[in-house]
Structure 1
Amino acid sequence: MKIEHLNATFQPAKIGNPHGLQITYLKDNSTRNIFVYHEDGKEIVDWFNAIRAARFHYLQVAFPGASDSDLVPKLSRNYLKEGYMEKTGPKCPFLVQLAQSLAVLALMAQKPSVSNSPSPSGCSKCFETPGSCVVREKLFQCVIWHFLTPQQTEGFKKRWFTMDDRRLMYFKDPLDAFARGEVFIGSKENSYKVLEGLPPSTQGNHWQHGITIVTPDRKFLFACETEDDQLEWITTFQKVISRPMLPQEYAGVFPGEAGCQPWPRCVPGAGGDWGSGRRSLLFWWKPISNINLSWDWLGRPEE
C-alpha cells in the first residue's frame, strides 16, 4: 500500500456507521477500496489524521520546493459526487467490434450493393459500391471505422457511480472492493462535453432523465432517476470538463499505471474466468499526439 496513491475520506452514510472511513489505494494498477469503522469516533479520526500526516511527509520529500500551503490540499480528497445511475454500452468493445468488422467483410463479399448501412460520410461509398477501385482503397478504413465505433450492445443497468477528480468509476454495489469500470473525463479543449438527454435511437432505459458524455472516441450514456439527480451530475461533469488539464494528466498514463498500451482489451480475472471476485479490467490511455485523451471502460459480462 503505497503512500503515493493513498487516500482517505469519511463515508458515514455509505458505510452505515457515523465513524466510517473509506480508504483507497492502487493494487495491481487498479483502485482498491477498503471500508473501515470504529465505535470510538476519536480512533477513526486518529487514523484519518495519521494517513494525512504520512501523505504530507511523502509530498515534502517528493516536492521539496513546494510550500506547505500547496501540499495541504493534496493530503486527501473527497469525491465530487456519488450516486446511482443507469448505464449501457459495449460489454467488451474490442471483441464486439471485431465481430462486427468480420460481419461487414462477409456482407461485402456476398452482396455487390449494401444500402442503408450505418457509416460516416467518408465510408458510405464502401458499403454502396464495394467493387470500385476507389472503394478498395477505402475499404480498410471503413472496416477500421466499424471496428472502432462502439454500439449499444447491452441494456441499461443500475450501478453506483463515483466521480473521483477526473475519474468516473462505476460499481455494482457501493461497497465493492474494485470498480467494474472507469472513464477518464478530460477538458473541453480536448473535445469532451456533456449533453442533457440521450440519442433518439437509445432503448432500454427505465429512468427517463438521460445524460450523454461525449469523448474523442465515443459517447457514454447514462440515465438518472430524477431531474434533480440529472442536474447535479451534469453540473459536476461540466465543472470537470471546464477545468484545464494539468501537465501530469497530459502525460498519457494515470499515476501508477506505467507501460499502458494504446488499445483496450478484455482479460480474464484471477482464476482465469470472468466471474472472479476481483475486477477483470484493463484501461489504456491513447497517445496525446492524437489529442485522444479518452479512457475506455471494459467489463466482465454482468449478471
Structure 2
Amino acid sequence: MTDRNSRRIADLVKLSGNSECADCGYQPPEWASYNIGVFLCTTCAAWHRRLGSHISKVKSLTLDKWDDEQVEMMEMVGNASAKEKYEQHVPACYRIPKAGDPSVLLEQWIRAKYERQEFIDVDKQTYVRSYLEGTLMKRAKDENKYYQRKFILADNTLKYFSKENAKEPKATINLSELNVCLSPSKMSQENGLQLSYMCDGSTRHIYVYHESGETIIHWYTAIRSIKLNWLMVAYPSASAEELVPYLTTDFVIEGWLSKTGPSERDAYRKRWFILDDRKLMYHEGPMDAYPRGEIFLGHKDDNYSIKEGAPRGCKDQDFSFSLTTPERTYVMSAPTSDERARWIQAINAVLERVLRPQDNQSKMAISENRKSARNSRHSWLSFL
C-alpha cells in the first residue's frame, strides 16, 4: 500500500503545474500540503508549518508515508486548481514572489493566500486604496538609531513627520521619483524598506522597518498600488502588466568597490556602490543618506561600455575594471575576480537594455546635480 501511494505521489508531481512549487515556482517540489492539495519547495513548506496544522498539513514527498485519503486529496486538487481558488483576485500591484526573494515577501504571500485569504475576499485588500496612514521606525540620517515616525501615503505622495502632532511634514516625496527596495541585507531588518528618491538634485535614502511583516508588506504594496494607478494615467496606452515592472525594483547589485578619482594620479578609495536600475551610486558607507556621486548608465550604442582592467596610464589594481561614459571613464576594482565578474555582468545587462522615456528624467537629474556640484567647487576655489 505504501509503495503504491509513493508511486502515485511520484506520478502526480510530474504533472503540468505540479512540477514546481505552488507558491514560489521553485523546481522540483519536495513537500506537499495534503489538506490544501499543493506541492511545495522546502522553503515554502517551512512557512506552511508556521501557519499551523489547522491551516496547512505538510508532508515530505519521499520521506513520509502517504495514506489513500491524502493521495486522493492531492489528485483531486493539485497546484493548478489551488491557484484558481487562492489566487483568483491577486491585484496587479501585488508582487508575487519568486524563489530567492526576500523572506518577508514570501511569508506574507503565503499568509495572504491561505491564512487571510486576501485573494478570495477582495474587501481584505486594504492596500489598494488611495490613502494609508501609520507609524514606521525610521533611521536617523546621521546615527544608527531608529525613531518612530508618522507616515501618510496619499495624492501620489509619501509624507513623514518628525513628531506625531507636527502640522507640516519633514519631507514630501513624489511617488513618481520614489523607488522602494525590500529588505536589503545591510539593514539587518527582515521587515525593512529602503526608500530612495530625488531630493535637491541628489538621491536621498531613507531606511524604515516595522516589527510586523504584514504591516511592511502592506506599505510596500500600497506604494506599488498608487504608483500603478499614476502610471496608468500617465501612459494610458500601456497595460497594467506592462507597467508593473516599473513600480519598484530591488537593487540589481550592491557592495564594496574601490574607485579612483578623475585624475590618473588619484588613489583608489573604498566606496559602497549601489546599482539601482540605470543609476550607479557610490557612498562612503552602506547606510549613508546621500551618495558621494551618481553615474547614469545609458545604452551601449551611445558611448557607454565596461571592460576588465584599467586604461593605460591609470593606476592598476587587482580585479580592476573600467566603465566608460560620454563624460569620463571610471576606474574601479572589486575584492575578488568573481565579484568583478558579477559587477561587469550586471552593468553590461543595463547597457544593453533599451532606454525608456522616463529614463531621460533620471539622466537629466544626475547631469544637473553634477553640474551644480562642479559650479560649487569652482566658486569655492575662486573664493580661495
Distance (Å, rounded) in 2 between the aligned partners of 1:194 and 1:200? 15
Whether the 8 Å contact between 2:296 and 2:363 is mirrored in structure 1 is: no
Whether the 8 Å contact between 1:155 and 1:204 is mirrored in structure 2 is: no
The letter for the 2-side match of 1:44 is I
Q: Which residue of 2 aligns with 1:31?
A: 203
Whether the 8 Å contact between 1:12 and 1:19 is mirrored in structure 2 is: no
The reply to whether residue 215 of structure 1 matches residue 329 of structure 2 is no
Q: Which residue of 1 aligns with 2:355?
A: 245
Distance (Å, rounded) in 2 between the aligned partners of 1:201 and 1:255? 29
Q: How does 1:285-296 map to 2 (within 5 A)?
A: none
Distance (Å, rounded) in 2 between the aligned partners of 1:32 and 1:2? 13
Higher relative contact order (CA 8 A, sep 6+): 1
Whether the 8 Å contact between 2:254 and 2:273 is mirrored in structure 1 is: yes
Unaligned runs of 5+ in 2: 1-172
Q: How does 1:1-303 map to 2 (within 5 A)?
A: 1-90=173-262, 151-203=263-315, 205=317, 208-249=318-359, 251=360, 253-254=361-362, 257=365, 260=368, 265-268=373-376
CA spacing shift, 1:88–1:267, aligned 2, 3 Å: same
CA spacing shift, 1:262–1:183, aligned 2, 3 Å: closer
Secondary structure in structure 1 of the residue aligned to 2:349: helix
Q: Cα offset for 1:245?
A: 2.8
Secondary structure in structure 1 of the residue aligned to 2:365: coil
- TM score, norm. by length of structure 2: 0.50
Whether the 8 Å contact between 2:265 and 2:315 is mirrored in structure 1 is: no
CA spacing shift, 1:258–1:36, aligned 2, 3 Å: closer
CA spacing shift, 1:268–1:156, aligned 2, 3 Å: same
Distance (Å, rounded) in 1 between the aligned partners of 2:182 and 2:370? 36
CA spacing shift, 1:177–1:262, aligned 2, 3 Å: closer
Secondary structure in structure 2 of the residue aligned to 1:246: coil
Whether the 8 Å contact between 2:272 and 2:286 is mirrored in structure 1 is: yes
Residues 159-203 of structure 1: CA deviation (Å, up to 9, x unaligned): 000111111100111111111101112222112111111134333
Residues 97-138 of structure 1: CA deviation (Å, up to 9, x unaligned): xxxxxxxxxxxxxxxxxxxxxxxxxxxxxxxxxxxxxxxxxx
Structure with max Cα Rg: 2
- TM score, norm. by length of structure 1: 0.62
CA spacing shift, 1:259–1:245, aligned 2, 3 Å: closer
Whether the 8 Å contact between 1:160 and 1:171 is mirrored in structure 2 is: yes
**Number of paired residues?**
208
Q: Cα offset for 1:22?
A: 0.6
Whether the 8 Å contact between 2:194 and 2:206 is mirrored in structure 1 is: yes
CA spacing shift, 1:53–1:263, aligned 2, 3 Å: closer
Distance (Å, rounded) in 2 between the aligned partners of 1:196 and 1:258? 25
CA spacing shift, 1:82–1:261, aligned 2, 3 Å: closer
The letter for the 2-side match of 1:85 is L
Secondary structure in structure 2 of the residue aligned to 1:33: strand
Whether the 8 Å contact between 1:84 and 1:224 is mirrored in structure 2 is: yes
Secondary structure in structure 2 of the residue aligned to 1:217: coil
Unaligned runs of 5+ in 1: 91-150, 275-303
Distance (Å, rounded) in 2 between the aligned partners of 1:88 and 1:164? 21
CA spacing shift, 1:214–1:258, aligned 2, 3 Å: closer
Whether the 8 Å contact between 1:6 and 1:23 is mirrored in structure 2 is: yes
Whether the 8 Å contact between 1:29 and 1:256 is mirrored in structure 2 is: no
Secondary structure in structure 2 of the residue aligned to 1:254: helix
Root-mean-square deviation over aligned CA pairs: 2.8
CA spacing shift, 1:159–1:2, aligned 2, 3 Å: same
